[in-house]
Amino acid sequence: MPPEICQRPALRRLSDAGLSWLQLSMDDAGHTGVVDRWAASLLRTCEVRMDAIRDLLAAGDRDTSDIQGRAVRLCLFFLDCFYRKTDARYLNVVLKMLDLPWMRRANGAGTGPIRSLLAAAVDAAIGVVSSERWRPTIRIANRCSNAIAPASRDQRSALGHSVVVFSPSPYSLYTLSVMRLSEQYGLHVAAVVVRKLVSVARFSQEWRRDGTRLLRKVWRKLILRRRAYARTVECTLGALLSDLGEPARSVPEWCRRHRTTMLTCTDLSAPPVLALLDAVRPDLCLFTGGGLVHPDALRRAGVGVLNCHMGMLPHYRGMDVVEWALLDNHPEAVGLTTHLMTKGIDEGPLLYAVPLLPDCRESIARLRDRLEYQMPQLLVRSAADLLGAAIAPVPQSVESGRQHFIMHKKLLDVASRRLATAV
């Protein structure tokens, strides 16, 4: 066993010998745990630091003359993981790596045949995922509920609990819906923390995560706002706000109308935010977006920070999980889950899981609109039930889930075609 394999997994110190050992050890039951840890770590590193893969492959004392060849061999290892684990995330990262400009240029000796083999293997893997037989085993929470049904008069009685709402922008329709519904459930919104829109650090962070999709998100959520939703289409955030009779057009306007403290910050865990939480001492915080929440803020959030995840946990953590459930041929795993936030992404204790079966006549964008429509209702209902002791959080099994990342367009096309045939 190469010495680096015994250390904490890191792409920057993985040698050619180490990569070969991982590939040869995939069928060795005695080394399954080691190989799985390395595979998961390499996958996450390549997804999160896609723009730095070349530098990571050249780190240390390794020969830098054939970085592309080393990257191709890493892709072949990922494809082995795809087949052996029945996990399309490994195919997804290979597709992204092959799109890198420096990967398209042949600059390593003897990489031509390997690249041809890789291209053929990728095409074959896409064919496997496109097959109706593709249906990986998953695990989702057994906490299905009708928690998004209209609440009774008793359930809407004043609870006397105070909440702080975390918001991604001053114009978030999701935040407005949550605050309006909180009033109806008798929850007192003591303060709202809004993340500052214009920030170099935020733009850089979200651009690395979303790429060009960030521009579409800005256009839809910050420019069009309610106009982004067609007036003739029901079950959208815009329609929900109209149904609720919410007159405020922005979070600051809502706060002025209700004389509620609003704090604008560059980060949801900045010192002013921590000071506000210390002063307000909320019973619970409601997360409507804005990035990761540091443990220092989580500890000051009363019962915790409650989030509504657009996916069925524990299996579908992370991003694009609607698309991933469709790709995996699991339409029953499209839905929402409420959970308390922890340091790990989507790994906190679960409250409610609500499935929403897709309709073959709709697009993925329309399906997401329907999920968005239900998110504020499920979030606030979960908050009321949690604070009213009607439900207790259940810890997740971290090993039962997988973190998903933005889906490559070729796999997104497969997911879209699968939606068109959903029953």
- Please report which confidence band the pLDDT of residue 59 belongs to, taking 50, 70 and 90 as the band edges: confident
pLDDT of residue 79: 96
pLDDT of residue 153: 45
CATH architecture group of domain 162-420? 3-Layer(aba) Sandwich (3.40)
Percent of the chain with pLDDT over 70: 83
Unique residue bearing structure tokens 């109806």? 184
Q: What is the DSSP string of 91-127?
A: HHHHHHHHTSHHHHS--STTHHHHHHHHHHHHHHHHH
Measured at the CA of 379, the angle between CA 266 and CA 262, to 5 degrees, comes to: 35
In tens, the pLDDT along 88-140 reads: 999 999 999 999 988 877 544 445 677 778 889 999 999 999 999 999 998 87
User: Is 231's pLDDT higher than 60?
Assistant: no
381 contact partners, CB below 8 Å, separation of at least 6: 147, 148, 151, 185, 352
Torsion sign (Cα): 95, 116, 36, 62: negative
DSSP conformation class of 224 = I
- Measure the CA dihedral 358/360/365/368, to 10°: -10
pLDDT of residue 384: 95
pLDDT of residue 235: 81
Phi-psi region of 235 (alpha: psi -120 to 50; beta: other; left: phi over 0): left
Unique residue bearing structure tokens 């390593």? 108
Distance between CA atoms of 340 and 393, rounded to whole angstroms?
8
Distance between CA atoms of 282 and 260, rounded to whole angstroms?
14
Structure tokens belonging to residue 250: 């922005």
- pTM recorded for the entire structure: 0.88
User: Is 143's pLDDT higher than 70?
Assistant: no
Domain extent listing, the chain: 3-130, 162-420
